[in-house]
């Protein structure tokens, strides 16, 4: 293995290693240390899903299940595939609860390091950089399920005590990885949203960077913006030589029509370019390198060739503009991942049953419809601005019901012996992958 004496560093608007420019090209490891319902095929937030397992099978068996899941989700064979694709980094999302006990937040737990170290060690072995991504924080940094909120409110930005706990956590992480060059960067908090006070936002970043720098002056620190990291208007420039900026690129959120084959590809490219240009402006604003830490799609066999055009159009923008990128995601239950368990595996058989009664799109549509019904039936009409945050709060109520009615009954039908074998569905030999996406990725990594 190559001896690496120097860390990835920021140099002007580039990332460099030993003075040589590097463009990050890779994946996120979504739904590993932070379960996301639609990707893993189980309704509820990370905490709700784990609580359901504990209620059905008991605390000890539930812990054993998720311990096995975390250690068996990826192994050497996955990294051999990543190397074959030519990618050079992996974004590692993790939930704060592996490190912070909500009932005793002053004492940081060490549990999370055994899981992070497992994959960081694989990264080092196969010479693939790891970027550590705090995907969920106490109280929630945004109102959506993927930060494990149970309120639909971004309470992290309302309480300094919650932010102080995360600042301490990053100091502990920095002490642990300060001498590990295959950890390329610390991604402080995933997709902040509905932040209303610029001073709170900037003070948090200033404090967390200062805490990290007490122990670690070498690692890059990524700053994400507001509105699910698409709005950087609140973020003041930061006087730290190893700070860089991260945005996420899902242009179809605002323009769903781009996902229809009926739209002319040239027009879709124009829409993408306009949206990308607005995000790319942060490089000019801060004079630092930028990283597109997430882009991707939900893949469907019937549309896979068309969907590869969309992926190409997004990656072309990154490459043409010298922007590092990470596809979301590497592996899941046949949703957005390039790798996924075969349809005949126990995990897929379970989740295909659940899909008959639950899916994320219905959850979102019903949440919005319930807010509209409530307003129309009991109150005066409400504005679009008021409707938007309320639908997140409604969905958290629905998730509680969905776990009770659409997850636990399916678990209760299965013995512990059957359930205990579910994580093996993610072993490489039990999986298949999108060859079409692999071909697209290699077009960029091996050019």
Q: Which two tokens stand for residue 16?
A: 């460099």
Of all helices (H) and strands (E), which one includes residue 129? strand 129-136
User: Which pLDDT belongs to residue 2?
Assistant: 40
Helices (H), 33-85: 37-40, 46-57, 59-72, 76-85
For 308, how many CA atoms within 13 A lie in the half-sphere containing its CB? Answer: 15
**Given strand 14-17, what is the order of strands in its sheet?**
9-11, 14-17, 20-22
Distances (CA, A) of 167 to 137, 138, 148, 218: 11, 12, 19, 18
Q: Which two tokens stand for residue 365?
A: 């549509």
Q: Which of 434, 441, 419, 435 is nearest to 62 (CA)?
A: 419
Q: Which of 329, 333, 337 is nearest to 352 (CA)?
A: 333
Helices (H), 234-345: 265-286, 304-320
Q: Which two tokens stand for residue 355?
A: 């899909």
The residues annotated with a catalytic role in the active site are 191, 294
Note the residue count of the chain: 447
- Distance in angstroms (rounded) separating the CA atoms of residues 396 and 398: 5
Q: Which two tokens stand for residue 282?
A: 């942060």
Q: Cα 205 vs. chain centroid, distance in angstroms? A: 19
DSSP designation for 145: G
- Distance in angstroms (rounded) separating the CA atoms of residues 127 and 182: 7
CB 377 within 8 A of CB 24: no
Q: Angle between the 265-286 and 304-320 helix axes, to the nearest 10 degrees?
A: 30
Output the tens digit of pLDDT for each of the chain's 447 residues: 344 457 999 999 999 999 999 999 999 999 999 999 999 999 999 999 999 999 999 999 999 999 999 999 999 999 999 999 999 999 999 999 999 999 999 999 999 999 999 999 999 999 999 999 999 999 999 999 999 999 999 999 999 999 999 999 999 999 999 999 999 999 999 999 999 999 999 999 999 999 999 999 999 999 999 999 999 999 999 999 999 999 999 999 999 999 999 999 999 999 999 999 999 999 999 999 999 999 999 999 999 999 999 999 999 999 999 999 999 999 999 999 999 999 999 999 999 999 999 988 888 888 899 999 999 999 998 998 999 999 999 999 999 999 999 999 999 999 999 999 999 999 999 999 999 999 999 999 997
Q: Which of 222, 224, 187, 229 is nearest to 92 (CA)?
A: 187
Pairing of strands 9-11, 220-224: unpaired
Say if domain 9-358+407-445 classifies as CATH 3.20.20.80: yes
How many C-beta atoms surround the C-beta of residue 369 within 10 A? 12
How many C-beta atoms surround the C-beta of residue 127 within 10 A? 13
User: Which pLDDT belongs to residue 5?
Assistant: 59
E strand intervals along 206-343? 220-224, 243-248, 290-295, 324-327, 339-341
User: Which pLDDT belongs to residue 360?
Assistant: 85
């Amino acid at each position: 293995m190559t001896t690496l004496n120097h860390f990835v560093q920021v140099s002007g608007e580039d990332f460099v290693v030993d003075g040589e420019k590097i463009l990050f090209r890779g994946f996120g490891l979504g739904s590993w240390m932070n379960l996301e319902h639609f990707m893993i095929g189980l309704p509820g937030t990370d905490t709700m899903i784990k609580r359901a397992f504990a209620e059905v099978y008991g605390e000890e068996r539930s812990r054993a299940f998720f311990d096995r899941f975390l250690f068996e989700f990826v192994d050497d064979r996955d990294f051999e595939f990543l190397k074959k694709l030519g990618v050079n980094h992996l974004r590692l999302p993790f939930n704060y609860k592996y490190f912070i006990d909500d009932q005793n937040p002053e004492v940081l737990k060490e549990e999370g390091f055994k899981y992070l170290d497992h994959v960081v060690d694989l990264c080092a072995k196969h010479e693939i950089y790891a970027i550590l991504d705090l995907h969920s924080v106490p109280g929630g940094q945004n109102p959506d399920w993927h930060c494990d909120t149970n309120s639909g409110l971004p309470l992290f930005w309302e309480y300094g005590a919650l932010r102080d706990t995360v600042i301490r956590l990053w100091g502990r992480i920095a002490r642990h990885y300060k001498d590990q060059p295959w950890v390329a960067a610390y991604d402080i908090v995933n997709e902040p949203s509905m932040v209303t006070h610029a001073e709170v936002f900037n003070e948090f970043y200033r404090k967390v960077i200062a805490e990290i720098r007490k122990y670690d002056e070498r690692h890059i620190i990524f700053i994400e913006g507001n509105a699910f990291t698409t709005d950087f208007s609140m973020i003041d420039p930061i006087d730290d030589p190893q700070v860089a900026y991260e945005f996420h690129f899902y242009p179809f959120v605002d323009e769903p029509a781009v996902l229809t084959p009926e739209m002319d590809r040239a027009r879709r490219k124009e829409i993408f370019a306009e949206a990308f240009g607005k995000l790319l402006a942060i490089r000019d604003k801060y004079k630092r390198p930028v990283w597109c830490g997430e882009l991707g799609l939900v893949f469907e066999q019937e549309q896979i060739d068309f969907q590869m055009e969309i992926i190409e159009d997004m990656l072309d923008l990154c490459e043409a503009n010298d922007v590092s990128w990470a596809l979301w995601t590497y592996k899941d239950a046949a949703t957005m991942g390039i790798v996924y368990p075969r349809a005949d595996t126990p995990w897929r058989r379970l989740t295909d049953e659940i899909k008959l009664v639950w899916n994320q799109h219905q959850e979102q549509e019903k949440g919005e419809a319930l807010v509209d019904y409530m307003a129309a039936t009991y109150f005066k009409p409400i504005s679009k601005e008021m409707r938007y945050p309320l639908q997140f709060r409604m969905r958290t109520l629905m998730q509680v019901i969905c776990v009770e009615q659409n997850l636990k009954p399916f678990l209760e039908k299965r013995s512990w012996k059957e359930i205990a074998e579910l994580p093996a569905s993610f072993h490489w030999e039990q999986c298949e992958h999108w060859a079409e996406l692999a071909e697209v990725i290699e077009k960029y990594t091996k050019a």
